[in-house]
Chains A and B, each alone.
Chain A
Amino acid sequence: MSAAVEAALDGLSCESCGAALNVAAGERTTRCPYCASPAVVARPRSAGEEPTFVVGFVIPEEDARTRAKAWMRSTWFVKSGFKEADVTDMRGVYLPAYLYSASARVGYTASIGENYTVTETYTTTDANGKSVTRTRTRVETEWRSLSGEWSAYLDDVVVTASRGLHNEELEAIEPYDLRALRRYTPKILSGWLAEDPSRTAAECATMAREEAVQQIGRRVSAFMPGDSHRELRYKTSFAHEHGALVLLPVWVLAVKYDPEQPAVRMVLNGQTGALVGRPPRSWTKVTIAIVAGIFALALVIYLGIEA
């Protein structure tokens, strides 16, 4: 993937009516303001790499709106008006993302806990006040050091290539079913917003490596023998790294529940319907709920003591 596409495009004309088109910086699609024809911008190869893959939209607009409304109604302790508010803005966007894969070799060291049982005798007093000797078992852990290797292919590591949508938001609506991956064709973008990458390949590769290292951490941790382990340290070397630009379907929705407050943004996976958003919390409602909870608990304890 080459450098992010930043410049706006001038001098494009509508293939349908000939009107001049203005394509904003970082966008791959546009719509003619005169004849409403949807157009997809094709750039020469020297201007930047074309996306390699696309995942098409599966969730239509009405379905996305219904899911968002259902999510809003299901949220708790939110400010008045949010549950009933209407979706004020809604856009289906093809989000540029970086699909990273590599082979990983890991060298690790860890302390492995192997449990064993110890039987011990102790002296205590019984119900009659007599001193008696009894036995009991206790589980102890013997710690042994272990070093070794772990290797595997890492695939399906996806990070955002857009500055408009943070990687945390993308992670929250993942996974995408990459079996539905299609080779990039402008046909899939026609009529939809499609963003060009606003992060460079190097930035995306760094983010992807960080995500890959976290994934490796989980897998190496599960690889450890023993009853438990601690002090796991590992060093990863990646080989045959590859990043491909992929366009992922995302619904971005805005809800204005109060004219004085900024709109609440929700992001919905255009393939699976998974949704992420930060509902506006009402701290008054949260406080009332906590106080009521404490009161109820105190009442239960009081009734228990009385009984």
Chain B
Amino acid sequence: MVDNPQLKGNDLRQIETILAGAREFGDRYVRPRALELDRRAWADINDFPWDLVREGGKYGLLSASLPPQAGGTARFICTSLCLVMEELSAACPGVAVVFGAHGLGVGPLALGGPLFWDGAMREIAESERLGNPIMMAFAITEPSAGTDMENPDLVDAAQLGCHAKRVKGGYLLNGTKCFISNGAQARYVTVYMPVDPARPRATMTCFLVDSRSEGFQVGHVEHKMGQRVSRAAELIFDDVFVPECDIVGRVGDGVTNMMGVLIGSRPAVGAIGTGIARGAYERVLEWLLNDPEAKPLLERQQVRLALAQMEEEIHLARQAYVDAATEFDNVSIGSLNNDIGVRMLGKLPNGLRSSSLVRRQMGSGIARNAVMAMLGRRVGNRGLTRALALSSMAKARGADTAMKVTGMALEIAGLSSGPIRAELEKLMRDAKLTQIFEGTNQLNRLEVYEGLCVDGELGLMPIGPGKLPEPVERPRRSAMASSGQSTNGAVTAGKAGVR
């Protein structure tokens, strides 16, 4: 399945279970409805298949991106997420991205360390189990800032319209984010804004925003060429208050956090591209083998060559994302979750871990600094740059493969091929977005240059001393999260900031 020597025993079984579930869910519930969902999504901008999300929840697809300590199932998060994405994308990329964008939203929390295990993430796991799914979204892009928001070297010059203003007990968020997948459905959004608009690179911060907060509003929902089931929405922040305890990591760690998430999510985009290509290839091959009118085409050498090339492209794209996911899980950021200290914390009973004493310690400056220090020590700038390069390569390769293979499949089938044509056209429309989101392929390849061609180092670690949130009473909304207490541990601003 996956050539990862560390995947064995229980870990391997867990991933095989998740994969089998994703495949069954895709084949039984998604693929037969893919065209209908696409049409409905175009006709009614408010239509969203919550029934399908609930069904996916039965297969653990919302918790697939959670660390095991927060109720997730797999230790090798990136690998398992990628495999799920390929399976779902072969059925319907739009549905895959609903779950993928949720995983992206979860990403900052998963990287945020033990403090976040028992908040929104556990709520997601619990609600999934109860059949009342909660989803997340990830908000970076702004109307005037897209690709440059995703590059540490460009972000200082980006035309950012969002900013977070310090107020008593937290921050007020203002501005507009756009093209946010799941934006209109998400309960929680991880959103990036600078605290000082004049110094975005140094002060970019990740905030966990509850979409029920006052001042939060969903704006325009886009009509997209493809991946229509996954809604892209504008999110408007009008003095949205976020308490200090919902700062993910430290103030100023936003770029590091964001890039860390992208290192984990770009292989998943590569997997989405691979899945789209596979979906097109499987459909056209099935048609050629089974439709009496189509079958004679298999006698044509051009068709055989095209099919062989499709196989080849898909194989290489899969290899690229598996390599990147393996690097993430075994070597770079994901490996932090396998740290002995983190694993021991994970073995604490939930009740104990949710106690005010332990939460206070985990939310303390020392703990938050420790997370960043561990990242610096175990991975560092060079390790992050290399991991980013591999993940960017996987993303660009998977996306290009999706475009190429869907185009080839459509070319073989032609306009008169009957019902299969609409499915192939949909996959091609879906494929184009993979070349654009999570940084355009061009930006991704520039990061491959940095990380692999010249063994460079992007400034991915925090560039200034990360300021620690001050202690504050955390207002809890759900009974499950009621254990969240104030954090009043010792805080020393300007301490860690590991370079």
Pair from one complex: no
What residues of chain A have their CB less than 8 Å away from a CB belonging to chain B? none
